[in-house]
């Protein structure tokens, strides 16, 4: 009886992206205010420290990201299994690389977003934080109403 009630309550707690949008806007606004108050040297330090840490964590957590999409993971394994087992065309290492390639094709949207973030961070690192400066400036000149629904 209590387990049934627990799962009913758990289903009620499911959150959609529309529910999280106001929270994300508030967090973005707080982050931008903090960046605006920081000096240019502090923002540069943030860029130089954040890039290796964030992308090292992304590499460490990549297997969990792949397993976070179980249906596409199984489909990508099945797609790579055909040339590996049926035709004996590829090696085991190539099988895993091909399955990750298929997974990236199936989940192109999160992969595209991650690649875009990486390119922005890399360009920001190479430009010594000037893209962060541009983002802070652009956000600061927006009207207050626009920053609430950004």
The pLDDT of residue 139: 84
Instruction: For residue 142, count other CB atoms closer than 10 A to its CB.
Output: 12
Residues 104 and 69 sit within 8 Å (Cβ to Cβ): no
> What is the mean pLDDT, run by run of 10 residues, along the chain of 150 residues?
69 62 78 87 89 92 87 91 86 91 92 90 90 87 72
The pLDDT of residue 36: 87
The pLDDT of residue 17: 59
140: Cβ–Cβ under 8 A, 6 or more apart, which residues? 32, 36
- pTM to 2 decimals? 0.69
The pLDDT of residue 27: 81
* Residue closest to 125 by CA, chosen among 59, 48, 71: 48
The pLDDT of residue 12: 63
The pLDDT of residue 13: 60
Residues 150 and 27 sit within 8 Å (Cβ to Cβ): no
The pLDDT of residue 53: 92
């Amino acid at each position: 009886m209590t387990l049934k009630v627990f799962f009913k309550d758990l289903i009620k707690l499911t959150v959609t992206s529309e529910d999280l949008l106001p929270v994300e806007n508030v967090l973005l606004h707080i982050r931008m205010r903090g960046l605006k108050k920081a000096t240019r040297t502090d923002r540069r330090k943030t860029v130089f420290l954040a890039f290796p840490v964030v992308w090292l964590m992304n590499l460490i957590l990549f297997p969990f990201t792949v397993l976070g999409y179980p249906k596409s993971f199984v489909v990508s394994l099945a797609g790579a299994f055909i040339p590996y087992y049926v035709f004996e065309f590829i090696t085991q290492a190539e099988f895993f690389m091909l399955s990750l390639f298929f997974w990236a094709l199936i989940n192109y949207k999160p992969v595209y977003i991650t690649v875009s973030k990486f390119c922005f961070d890399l360009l920001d690192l190479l430009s010594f934080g000037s893209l962060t400066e541009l983002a802070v400036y652009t956000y600061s000149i927006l009207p207050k109403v626009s920053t609430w629904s950004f």
